[in-house]
Amino acid sequence: MRTSNFTCPACGYNGLAERPRSADGGGSYEICPSCGFEFGVSDDDLGFSYETWRRRWIAEGMRWSGSEPEPDRWDPASQLANLAADGA
């Protein structure tokens, strides 16, 4: 069970255990269970921006990417709307 609520800048999921990027800029290597973005790999190694990953995830149907079942009442459209409201 996740106890932190850091937000994924790619999809708006508010349940990451760590900050996506550390204060010195390094990726956390956590994989967002919602969209599958791995901080420090998807961006630094593979060259995806959050926006590009987001568009790809949306185009592929916004499917849950985690190995654990999606949370009750998980709503990817709402989390995207919250991300847009935060100015991302």
pLDDT on residue 43: 96
CA distances for 10 relative to 3, 22, 25, 46, angstroms: 20, 16, 16, 14
pLDDT on residue 82: 82
pLDDT on residue 88: 60
pLDDT on residue 63: 96
Mean pLDDT in each 10-residue stretch from start to end of the chain (88 residues)?
78 94 93 97 96 97 95 94 74
Q: Please state the domain extents for the chain.
A: 1-71
Mean pLDDT over the full length of the chain: 91
Residues of the chain above pLDDT 90, percent: 83
Total residues belonging to the chain: 88
- Cβ-count burial 18-52 (b if 16+ within 10 Å, e if not): eebeeeeeebbebbbbbbbbbbbebbeeeebebee
